[in-house]
Every structure is written in structure tokens, then in C-alpha cells.
Structure 1
Amino acid sequence: MARKDRCPGIYIAGTSQHSGKTLVSLGLVAALRDRGLKVSYMKPVGQRTVEVNGAHVDEDVILINTVYGLETEPADCNPVTIPSGYTTEFVRERKSRQPLIDRILASYDRISEDADLVIVEGTGHAGVGSIIGMGNAQVAAILGAGAMVVTGGGLGKPADEFALNRAMFAQEGCNIIGMVANKFLPKKMDELKPLLATWLEQFDDRLLGVIPYEPILSELTMRQIASETGAEIIHGEQYLDRRISDCIIGAQYPHRLLQSLRPGVLAIIPGDRDDLILAAISSEELSSETAGTIGVCITGGIMPHHSVLRLIERSQAPVIAIREGTYDVASEISDVVGKILPSDTEKVEKGQWLVKRAMDLDAVLEAL
């Protein structure tokens, strides 16, 4: 049970994976700090972890703590992680969730000791984590935090998603602060935003914000692609923060490839196509349109001729290599999600600006 004297928290819950929970958390911390509030951050249950000071913590914790210089222990910000095989072991051995609850509450009390408010980021939709008794609605109830539900943009789909998730939070006795609709097509906002607000009012719920779709937030960097795919960096470590918005497969004549190259393109080329690799490198170096804007991924476990590698080393193109075949590599890269990284200042600032501009902060604070 949550103590009545516990620091208030806002539980950021999504209706699906990649709904925008981290974006909303990032921007909400900034908006609340602008109001003079001391804000802490927590992600009670994490899945995608990195190692920090000997502890495995969710990567979103690293983002928020780094951007805002928060001094809370990363392990307290993410007290429970779910490694591969954990849920199977939990069910097979009929483990109790109480140790997990105790760990979360102890961490929450430590990070909120001097805070006015805690932003608590969930994982997936309301039911994610239920297999171990740590569903988002369950964790929000444990902490006594009000739930802010992040949906997609539009009218029918976000309303359906919100209704389903609201039912799960209500079942756990959670206070619903309201809805934030993310990735809303700008051309639809004027028409659909008032309709969505009207629908919510029927159930005494609030539309707290509508965040427009911003393409830059979905774009990848060469660094993300290399990290997510385990690629070998052939050249251009200093250029890995170059932004990628599209991929093309090199399987044509060189002049056709040159016609396809444009700013923000990653050219995926088999390692035995020296002609196409040279064409891409030449475009990077000489074209006024694509200079300093493209990347190259070599596939198939084949390295270009050493004379070509020497030219690559003299270029300003980030070049990576992945052992799998071209089709498998293209498919793998298409599955990579464009996350906000601490080093990506442009994305961080754009995300903060979008959320602060969209959020009705007075309504948020009033609903707590």
C-alpha cells in the first residue's frame, strides 16, 4: 500500500510500446522544473538495460539523469529489471512479488526524499509486467501515483486505447490524471483535438496535451544503427551521430545509385560491389547535395579491395560493416527504433520544446 505522506508521483503509461512515454517524461521534467519544482525521475521496471557502476539499469534512466544532471543513484531510479528468462523462472518457482514491491518502495522513498514530485515512467501498456505482478497499473497503485496515459494521434484509435487502459488502472484503484495524444498529424489537430477532448469529458477525463508528429524524433543515427545491429565500425567514428532518415539497397548500376542518394540516406551495399561503394563515397565527397549527409553499410562479411578501403579512410563518410546478407541487414535496420539519446542534443531540445508547448501543466498539477 502507498503511504499517504509519500511524495506525489505522475505515472507515465503508454497504450503500446514506443507510444512516447520517454518523450513525455523528458518534456514533463523540463516543464515542471521551469515552474520551480524539484523533480525526481524513476522507471520502476526496466527491460532494455545498460551497465552503470556495476548495476544494470534501463537506458531511459541514463537519458533523463544525464540530460538533467540528476544525482540519484541509477539503481534506485530503476530498482527492478527483467532479464531474459526471468518471467519463466518467476512462474515456474511460484515466486512472490513482495520482494519486488519492497525494492520499488524503498527506492522511491530514497529518490523522492527532497523532491516535490516524481515522474514515474512505465513500460508498455497498462498490463505489461503482469506476469510477475508488476503490471503498470499495479505499480502505479503500489506507489499511489496518478496515471497519465500516452496514446497515439487521431480520434477513434486513441479513444479505444485509452478506454482499455483506463479500465485496468481503475481496477487497481488508480487515479487517472488524463490523456496525452502523441504523434498527431499536424493537419488533423485543429479538427480532431476538440472532438477528442469532448469524448473524454463524457467520462470526467481530461485531454492534457496533443503532441504533433515530428519526423526528427523517429530518425536514427549511424551510432544507433551500429549499436543495435552489432556492426563493425570501418571508418568515421566521429561521424556516427549523422542522422539517417531512409535506407536504399545497392544492387544497381553505379549511376542509378548516385541518382538515388540524397541527404540522410544509408546506402546498404554488398562488400563485393566495389563500384557501388566507390560511387557512394564519391557522392559523399563531391556532390553538393549529399556531401556530409550520407552513410554506408557494407554487408555479406566481405570487405572491399584494400585500395577501396584506403579511399574510405580518406573520406568523411561513416562506414559500418555487418556480416549478414544485404536483405537481412535491411530488415534488421528497419526494426531499429529511433530513440532519444543523451548525446543527441537536437532531439532532446526538440522533444522538450514539443512537450512543454503541448502540455496543459496547470491541468496536470490540478489533477494530482
Structure 2
Amino acid sequence: MPGLYIGATSGYSGKNMIALGIGLWMQRQGLKIGYLKPVGALPIEKDGKMGDEDAFFMQQTLGLEQDPETVTPVLVTQDFKVKAFTGECEDLMAKIHSSYDTLSQGKDLTLVAGSGSMYSGKYCNVDGVSVVNELNLPTIVIDRFDKEFKYDYLAIMRETLGDKLLGVILNDVPQSFMDELNNLLMPFFKRSGIDVLGVIPRDPLLGAIKVSDLADRLGGKVISAHGKSDRVVENFLIGTMQVENFLTHFKKHRNSAIIVGGDRSDVQLVALEGDCPCLILTGNLYPNDIILTRSEVLEIPIIIVREDTFSVAKKMEALLSRHKFRDQVKIKQGTDVVGQHVNLPLIKERLGL
């Protein structure tokens, strides 16, 4: 039965979103879809069984029920790492092959999801390239825009995988980069024999995070307007400048959380009156009564965190780029985006389905 490996040039590139978009679309075409995540880097326990967090999520969303140990035959725990680095690994590829054979029975297509980059897991010989070669799978490699694309990496994938490389999907592309992509990179990809199966533009909602999740990830707590903790944060601004300068920046970034010292009530008030999604007050300093009252009246949550403004800003940057694709709103938006910008009929055709 045919399979399709979905890998990436780096972690947090959109593998779940694109695998889900492909899987749900194929199901709507009347095809039976299976799912395998050979290597799981996010071990969790569910209903008394250990598995991978991403794999549990994907199984649930695709409407599948399979044994977690079969779906993720290699689970990266601390004990696993110790054995791997001391040369005590069993034949892991045999376990992966066995799982693939089991899960693909009766399926029209089995999605095989990578973990990290195509070379992640090389230390124990279960990297994406090795899995693809072992299972002889057609492969899609995702490259997420991060200041630029990893065009060298994609060229190496073309050489390494040969005809197994079905194509690449370019994800999270800012509008400002589209001209360079179309005029410079696309001709390069064509000359290099790399088929671009989709170009997914940047979508603020897909990188957004709920206020309640944000507080948890920052190690802080929501102290006001608790009923609005499901508001969504798409970006952030640092409120260390003078109020006049801050106001100019704030008007251009309305959906941004404001990170500001707990003692800067002037900036806090401007942000609240401007309907920011939330305030993040640093230094473990609580706001005055006026700010707290306005927060409740305007229904804008305030998060208190212990760390300084610079440290919180660094964390926020990482969070917004790596926040997991989980919320129902994001699932619908993400699958819609994949349907609009990825050539799914061509993928189906090339898989012989």
C-alpha cells in the first residue's frame, strides 16, 4: 500500500498542519488513511499507555484508533537517549518497518510523519532520510521561512532522495518575500529538479496563542479579566519607550500583547484603552488599582511574570514561532490554508491514487 513521508528542513515547520490538511482532504476523496509517526520526541501517557503527543493529536483529528506503541514505535525518553548514546540500541528500523506494515493494512495511503528535521535521529539511525530509504517512501519536505529559505538543504534533499522526493512545500511566506521567491528561487528550484507543490503565505492566526496558554508558557499567572483568557495573541510589543513613541507603534500592531514593566502605568493605560489582547507585566510587579479596574471594565487580561522585560520578549519570540497546532480554530484555518495553497490533486495523482 502506498505511503507518504512528510518531513522538514527543521523542527516546527508545519508538519502536523500539512499532514492533517493532506489527510483530511484525502479522506474527503473517499480514501482510507493511516498514520505513523516512527520517532516520537514528545512522550506522554494517555489512558495508561505511553505515546507521542503529536501522534495522539493526529490520530484523534483523523478519526483513527491504533495502539500508541505501534503508531510510534520509537519513543525518545531519557532512558532511550542513554541507551542510544552508549550504543545499546536495538534494531529500531525493524520496529518501524513492522509498524508500517501493520498500520498500512487495508489503507489506501499511510501518512508517515517526520520528527524535527530530515536528519534528526541520526544518532540512533532513525533519521528521516534513513526511514524514507528503508520504507521506500515518496517524500514531501517542508521548508518554513525564517529570514530566508534553506535552499541549499532542499538541493541536498533532491540529490539524497532522488526520485523519492515528490516535492517541497514552502510555508509561512511573508508577503514582502513573494517577489524574491517568484523571481529568484522558483527558477532555481526548477533548474534543480525540485517541484514546489505549494507556497503557503504567512497567516497570523496560525502563529497565535491564547492568553491562558501564554501565561502557562511564560510561567506567569492571569490576575484580571479571567473570563477573557481565551483571547488570542498574534504578536507582541515591548513598552519600554516613551508613551508618545509607544502609541505610534501600537497603532500599527493592534493584535499585539504588550510586554511592559509593572511600574509603567502610563504605557499600561494606553495599551488597555487601545484594546490590546493582553498586558504582560514583568518583574513580578502588580499594577495599581486604576489599571486593575480598567482591565476588568475593558475585559483585557493582565499576566504577571517574574522575569525582566528582555527575557520575556525572548521567550515570546520563541513561543509564537513554535506554538503547537492544536486549537480547533487553528485546525480549521490550517486545513483550509493547505487546501487553498497546496496542489493536493497533483499529490494524489503522483501517488497513483
TM range (shorter): 0.7 to 0.9
Provide the alpha-carbon RMSD of the alignment. 3.2
- Contact 2:43/2:76 (CA < 8 Å) preserved in 1? no
* TM-aligned CA deviation for residue 128 of structure 1: 1.0
Deviations 1:253-288 (A, max 9, x none): 56665555442121112234455444444x1xxxxx
Q: Is the aligned partner of 1:332 residue 2:315? A: yes
1:342 to 326, 338, 349: 326
- Contact 1:45/1:79 (CA < 8 Å) preserved in 2? yes
2:259 to 268, 273, 290: 268
Deviations 1:98-134 (A, max 9, x none): 1x33443444344333421111111232211100111
Partner of 2:88: 95
Give matches, 1:73-222, under 5 Å: 73-84=67-78, 86-92=80-86, 94-98=87-91, 100-152=92-144, 157-169=149-161, 175-185=164-174, 187-188=178-179, 191=183, 195-196=187-188, 198-201=190-193, 206-222=195-211
How far apart, in 2, do the equivalents of 1:265 and 1:56 lie?
37
What SS does structure 2 have at the residue aligned with 1:113?
A: coil
- Contact 2:280/2:305 (CA < 8 Å) preserved in 1? yes
Segments of structure 1 that go 5 or more residues without pairing to the other structure are 1-6, 284-289
How far apart, in 2, do the equivalents of 1:302 and 1:152 lie?
37
Deviations 1:302-352 (A, max 9, x none): 33356754654555112222211222111111121253533241x322321
- Contact 1:178/1:207 (CA < 8 Å) preserved in 2? yes
Cα gap change, 1:358/1:136 in structure 2, threshold over 3 Å: closer, same or farther? same
What SS does structure 1 have at the residue aligned with 2:336?
A: helix
Cα gap change, 1:176/1:192 in structure 2, threshold over 3 Å: closer, same or farther? same
How far apart, in 2, do the equivalents of 1:108 and 1:266 lie?
44
Deviations 1:41-74 (A, max 9, x none): 2222122344432445444334433433333344
Worse-matched range after superposition: 160-169 or 272-281: 272-281
- Contact 2:158/2:165 (CA < 8 Å) preserved in 1? yes
Q: Taking structure 1 as the reference length, what is the TM-score of the superposition?
A: 0.79
Q: Is the aligned partner of 1:27 residue 2:27? A: no
How far apart, in 1, do the equivalents of 2:198 and 2:265 lie?
51
How far apart, in 1, do the equivalents of 2:342 and 2:248 lie?
43
Deviations 1:204-246 (A, max 9, x none): x533333333343233332442233232232344433323233
What SS does structure 2 have at the residue aligned with 1:126?
A: coil
2:231 to 218, 236, 242: 242
- Contact 1:30/1:356 (CA < 8 Å) preserved in 2? no
Give matches, 1:285-364, under 5 Å: 290-291=274-275, 293-305=276-288, 309=292, 312-313=295-296, 315-336=298-319, 337-345=321-329, 347-364=330-347
* TM-aligned CA deviation for residue 10 of structure 1: 0.5
What SS does structure 2 have at the residue aligned with 1:37?
A: coil
- Contact 1:97/1:132 (CA < 8 Å) preserved in 2? no
Q: Number of residue pairs matched?
A: 344
Q: Residue type of the partner of 1:208?
A: L
What SS does structure 1 have at the residue aligned with 2:169?
A: strand
How far apart, in 1, do the equivalents of 2:184 and 2:284 lie?
50
Partner of 1:4: none
Cα gap change, 1:131/1:208 in structure 2, threshold over 3 Å: closer, same or farther? same
What SS does structure 1 have at the residue aligned with 2:134?
A: helix
Aligned residues with identical type, % of pairs: 26
